[in-house]
Amino acid sequence: MGKSSQKQSRRELIEKMQREQERKDKRRTLYIVAASILVGLAIIAYPAIRLIQDSRTRNTAITDLGVAASAASCDKPTDDAASGTQDHQPDGTDIKYAVSPPSSGSHYATWAPFDRKFYTADDRPPVPNLVHNLEHGYTILWYNEATAGNAEQTALIEKISKSKLPDTSMNKFIAAPFKASEGAAWPAGKNIAFSHWGGPAADGTTSFGHRQFCGSVSGEALQQFMEKYPALDAQEPNGG
């Protein structure tokens, strides 16, 4: 084979390799573009899907969520001697509560945002901020650390916080985690607690806080608690 033929063969081989590389580059570019489009669509679609899901949840009664009240292993509500009305302490003050979780007591001068209904262990405000919400007629669903570590259960609690609450609640509700280090141990086997701070009794001086412990998440049990202790039964029912 002559030198000119060898050069021609090498040139053809090089051109062939270049064409093959170009085809690979084009395929890679198409894959990247397609993947980018899919990611972009997912980013756009996710908020829309959440909005649709949240809209459906808002029309779901809490009684349809979680186990039935009869299956939630709930204790009877307590009547805790209440104290601390308008006893506002500076944020950061170390406040100890007589019962766990608290159903009344001294509290910080600022409250948790009224439009926020669900907290995780990562973003929950201090307990004394939440007690201030109790003073204004809120019901709080507290969940323990075992429940906080269960993604399915916390998702259910969050769904309850976004669902249709009973009229008696006036939409004054917060779900928040409670750490074992923040108060006395809860009764054995109880993972959920409701608390509400009632208003003055007929004598104008006596008042009670109320708690109820349950073993399982139950929207029906929560509704029964909020109907028994409505938002207007509060120390300062017009706030919030």
Output the pLDDT for position 98.
95
The token duo for 121 is: 């262990």
Confidence (pLDDT) at 49: 43
With bands split at pLDDT 50, 70 and 90, how would you rate the model's confidence at 7?
A: low
pTM: 0.77
46 CB neighbour count, 10 Å cutoff: 10
Our CA dihedral for 150, 188, 132, 97, rounded to 10 degrees, sits at: -140
Q: Could you tell me which of 194, 176, 163 has the C-alpha nearest to residue 118?
A: 176
State the pLDDT at residue 45: 52
Name the DSSP letter for residue 124: P
**Tens digit of each residue's pLDDT (9 = 90 or more) over 161-175:** 999 999 999 999 999
- Name the DSSP letter for residue 82: P
Query: What are the respective helix, strand and coil percentages of the chain, to the nearest 5?
Result: 45, 15, 45
What pLDDT is stored for residue 59 in this prediction?
84
Amino acid at 105: G
| pLDDT in the model for residue 8 | 65
From 147, 164, 121, select the one nearest 213 (Cα to Cα): 147
pLDDT tens by residue, 47-73 = 544 444 454 557 899 999 999 999 999
Mean pLDDT over 75-91 rounds to 96
DSSP string computed for 164-199? B--GGGTT-EEEEE--GGGSSPPPTT--EEEEEE--
Q: What's the rounded Cα separation, in Å, for the pair 34 and 142?
A: 45
- In this prediction, residue 219 carries a pLDDT of 98
The whole-number pLDDT of residue 50 equals 46
